[in-house]
Amino acid sequence: MYLYIVAGLALLISLVVSRQKTVRALKIAARRFLKILPAFLLMIILVSIALYLVPDEVISRYLGSDNKFTAMALASLLGSVTFGPGFIAFPLAGILVQKGVAYMVIAAFTTTLMMVGVLTAPIEKAYFGWKVTVIRNVVSFFIALAVAVIIGLSFGEVFS
Amino acid sequence: MKRNTILKVLLFASYFIFLLVAWLLDFNPGQQIGHNFGSFLVDMLKILPGAFILIGLFEVWVKRETVERHLGEGSGVKGYLWVILLSGTTVGGLYLAFPVAYALYSKGARLSVIFTYLGAAAICRIPMAIFEASFLGIKFTAIRWLVSLPLVILTSILLGNYLTRRGYTVEAGK
């Protein structure tokens, strides 16, 4: 956990330099954390339900569809509405590639998974409002599609 | 209490009652959802305190002028470069990028830089990219970066300019 090594060191240095400022930093940290906690809780609830409704087998089934473009469309939608930490998504992607799923389909899935967050929308909205949340996610969705198509071209999948 | 708050409390309450009843009645879908909730909650609690401590320290120690100079209106192209490097170190996922982006914004970073940070944090996190390349190959990861980063910067500039023209400001917690 390099995050805690960094946070711990930073906290220690801060404490050595100024006790007063460090206490203020911790107060700010606690206040911000508590303020956004309901949005986080809502996200965790949504994720817990989404993981149940869309398990790995469902993802594998849809991404393995014969028509690459249908599969790409499905993959980008699935990636948008699910939420997965990279350490689950990429091993799954690796398995799918071995099963013969096209790289462009994988790209559509992983890129939307990372960039488009329907489930993280409660948090995004709390900071930036609905309008920006919707615009950013729609734009990200199209960026992901562009990435997928160019990956498809590079791997010679589009015209085969 | 506002209507929204009441709705949220009701939603949370019914969710937890559902989990409790599912657990008592051995209702399998409910138990699985409960299990997902638990494991994801633990994941979050491992990351969030550390991240928010860093955000708190950032607020106290980093001067507004520093952020403004490097990421603000006058920072030019370098602002994007800095923020992309910063995004490489982001842990977790988008959900953590939002509070960080807000902290940067409240210290004077400009909107297009903030949106670049969000996009880059989603696609360019170094630990994740290494992981990705090891499963899907370096070619895959390289193309993904080369295509998505310029698009992220371009759309961030467009969105940032559009919102700035309309006098948009970020008001967290609303």
Domain count, chain A: 1
Give the mean model confidence (pLDDT) for residues A20-37.
93
Nearest CA of chain B to the CA of A127: how many Å?
Answer: 4
Q: In this structure, is residue A29 part of a structural domain?
A: no
Question: Within a domain: residue A143?
Answer: yes
pLDDT tier at B149, thresholds 50, 70, 90 = very high
pLDDT tens per residue, range A70-124: 999 999 999 998 876 666 788 888 888 888 899 999 999 999 999 998 999 999 9
CB contact under 8 A, A21 and B61: yes
Q: Does B58 score more than 50 pLDDT?
A: yes
Residue A61 lies in a domain: yes
pLDDT band at B116 (very low <50, low <70, confident <90, very high): very high
Is A145 within a domain? yes
Residue at A40 is within a domain: no
pLDDT of residue A20: 94
A·B CB contacts under 8 A: 196
Token pair of A100 as six digits: 């013969």
The alpha-helical segments, DSSP class H, found in B62-125 are 64-71, 76-88, 94-106, 111-123
Three-class DSSP category at B92: coil
| pLDDT at residue number A141 | 97
Looking at per-residue confidence, does B119 or B1 come out higher?
A: B119
Q: How far apart are CA A92 and CA A115, in angstroms?
A: 18
Do residue A48 and residue B40 have CB atoms under 8 angstroms apart? Answer: yes
- Give CB contacts under 8 A, 24+ apart, made by B87-91: B87/B116, B87/B117, B87/B120, B87/B121, B87/B124, B87/B125, B88/B120, B88/B124, B88/B125, B88/B126, B89/B125, B89/B126, B90/B121, B90/B125, B91/A2, B91/A3, B91/B47, B91/B51, B91/B125, B91/B127
Domain of A110? 54-154
Contact A136 B159 (CB under 8 A): yes
Query: Average pLDDT, stretch A119-134?
Result: 92
